[in-house]
Amino acid sequence: MEKHQKFSIWYVIIAIWGVFLLNNLIVSSYGPKNLAYSDFLTALRNGEIVDVAITGDVISGTMKTTEKGEPKDAPFVTRRVDPSLSDELTKHNVTFRAQPESTFLRDLMSWVLPILLFFGIWYFMMQRMNPGGGVMAFGRNKAKVFAEKDIETRFTDVAGCDEAKDELKEIIDYLKEPERFQNLGGRMPKGVLLIGPPGTGKTLLARAVAGEAEVPFFSISGSEFVEMFVGVGAARVRELFTQAREKAPCIIFIDELDAIGKARGMAVVGGHDEREQTLNQLLVEMDGFDPRVGVIIMAATNRPETLDPALLRAGRFDRQVLVDKPDVAGRLAILEVHAKNVKLGPDADLSTIAKKTPGFSGADLANAVNEAALLAARRGKQVVEMADLDEAVDRIVGGLEKKNRVINPKEKEIVAFHETGHALVARFTPGADKVHKISIVPRGIGALGYTQQLPTEDRYLMTKAELYGRIDVLLGGRAAEALVFGDVSTGAHNDLQRATDIARAMVSEYGMGQTLGPATFPRQNRPMFLSPEQAPLAGREYSEATAALLDEEIKGILMERMDHVSDLLAARRPDLERVARKLLDQEVLDDAQFEALLDVAHVPGPAA
C-alpha cells in the first residue's frame, strides 16, 4: 500500500535557517575586509585609501594593500565613530572600531514570519475544506476499520430478528469456508442490503456478522463519501474497495445507503452531480468485483423505495434482508439482552413490558430499560422494580410526567371524563385492546391525560368491525364530554384526526366503503418504513366529484360511530360517573382498579 508522506512546516524553517547560515559563512570568507575605524584613519593619512562610499555610518571602498609582494586594491568596510571621540582615541594610540549591530535575526524574521503566516493561512484553509486530512487527502476514504479482534459483537447480542440472522449465517459460512461453496460452483451474493425501520438493529446485525466470521470490518456512512469537491466521492469509493481487497476476506458496511444511492434523476436541480458520480463509481466497483476475493458488501437503509434500480439488480445488492420491528417474543428477547447488566427486582416482569410495547424497535426497548435503571437510581432504589419499567415505557410513549403543571378543577374534571370515556368504550367494544391504565397526569407537550391499552397479541390484519372499534374508542372521549357537560373541548383534536385517518383509509385504501367499492386509491410515495407524518404530500388520482363523495362517506362513518358511542356511554352513565370521580381522586387507575368500579351485570352495553 502506498505510504502518504506527511507535510511539516519545520522542513521549511530548517531550510531557511540553513540558507542564512550559509550566506553568513560566504560573506565572512569572501566578502570585504571588516576594517577598524582607527586603521581606516591611519590608512587615510598614509594615502592608502583609493575610494570610499558613505552610506549613513557605513564607509565602504577600496584601499591599497600588498599580497604576496604585489600591490593590489582590496575592498573594505568600516563604521564611522564620533569625530571628537576618535581624536581622543588617536592621541592615546588606541585601536578602535565601530561594531556593527547584528541584523541576522532581523533579516531572518523579515523573511520567515511572512512565510510562516502564508503557510499557516494555507494550511488552515485546506483543513477547513477537508477536515479529514489536509490538501493531499481529499480522495481518502473515511471508513472506520475494525480488526477482527476488535469486534466483540456476536449473534447472542442481537435479539428479535431470528429470520434475518438465519439469512446472514450463509454469509458467515462463506467467509469462514469459501472453498466449500466454490467447489460446487456456487458464489455468494456480492451485496446484502439490510432494510427496515429506524432503530431495529441493522448496524448491530452487520457488526455481529463480522464478529461471528472473525474478519475485518469497514464501516462508513453514505454521507461521508460526498464532499464539496467534484470527484471526491468517486475517489473515496475506489480507495475503499482497494483497501478492502488488500484485507480480504472482510466486510464493507455502508450505513444510510440512500444518501448516495437515490435513483438518478430524482434529485432537485443543483448539487447532485457529485452524488450521482459517487453512485456510478459504486455501481462500477460492485459490477467488476470478483466474488472469489472474499469481500462482502453490506448496506443498510430505511428508505429502499428511493434506491436506484441498478443497485438492486442481481449481481449487486442481490440479497435483501428485512430487519423489521420485533413481535412480542422478539421484544421479550431484546429486553432480556438489555436487562443482563441491570439489577431487576423480583416483581419485574419483562413479558408484561413486552406485551405493553407493540411497535417498539430494539432501540426503543433498550432506551426503556435504561430509563428504568435511571429512575430507580434517582429514587434511591437498590433494584429496578416493575413500577420503574412501567414509568419508563410511559415516559417514552407519552413524554415526561409533569406533576407540577397547574390545571384548574374544571379542566381536570373534563380530562377525567374524557379519559374515562375512552376506557369504557374500549372495555365494552368487542375486539378492542384491554385497558391497562388510565391517567390524568399531564405528560409531554400537550397531553393532559391518557388511556393506555394493552394488546393481548400482535396483529397484522384487521377486519372492518375491528377498525370500527378503533374509531369508537377514539371518539369515546369527545362523546363523554358532550354527554356530561353538554359541550365539547379542544382535547379531542388528536383523537378526531386519527379517527378520520382510519375512516379515510377504510374508504380509499382498504376497499371497505360504498363510493369506490373494491377499488383503492392509496396515498402515493409513502415511505415503506417511515411514519405517515414523514411522507411527502401527494396528489390524488381521482376526480373532484369522487373526492366529494369520499368526503361525504367519511363524514357518514364518523357520525354513525359517534351516535353509537354516545348511546353506549349513556347506557353506562353510572359507570362513567363512578370511574371519573375515582380518577379525579387518585389521578391514576390500573386495570384491576378500573374493573372493580364497573357494574357489568346490571347495565349491558349496546351491540357494536
Q: State the catalytic residues.
A: 419
**How many Å apart are CA 531 and CA 508, to the nearest integer?**
19
SS3 content of the chain, % helix, strand, coil (to 5): 50, 15, 35
* Residue 436 marked as a ligand binder: no
Q: In whole angstroms, what is the distance from residue 266 CA to residue 465 CA? A: 41
C-alpha cell read off for 15 = 531550510
Does 301 carry a binding-site annotation?
Answer: no
Question: 262: which DSSP letter?
Answer: B
500 annotated as a binding-site residue: no
| Contact present, 259 and 300 (Cβ < 8 Å) | no
Q: Is 196 annotated among the ligand-binding residues?
A: yes
List Cβ neighbours of 278 (8 Å cut-off, separation of 6 or more). 225, 226, 233, 234, 236, 237, 260
The residue type at 607: A
4 assigned ligand-binding residue:
no
Cell of 463: 377486519
> Residue 6 — φ and ψ, nearest 5°?
-85, 130
Residue 33, all three cell numbers:
575586509
What is the residue-wise DSSP string for 414-450?
HHHHHHHHHHHHHHTSTTPPEEEEEE-S-BTTTBS-E
Contact 157, 210 (CB under 8 A): no
Residues 6+ apart with CB under 8 A from 286: 190, 191, 297, 315, 316, 317
Is 202 annotated to bind ligand? yes
Joined grid coordinates for residue 576? 362513567
Q: CA-CA distance, 494 to 219, in Å (whole number)?
A: 41
User: Please, are residues 420 and 597 in contact by the beta-carbon 8 Å criterion?
Assistant: no
Residue 422, annotated as binding a ligand: yes
CA distance 353 to 391: 11
Q: Cell 438493529 appears where?
A: 201
Binding-site positions for Zn(2+) read 418, 422, 495
Binding residues: 196-203, 418, 422, 495
| Residue numbering of the annotated binding site for ATP | 196-203
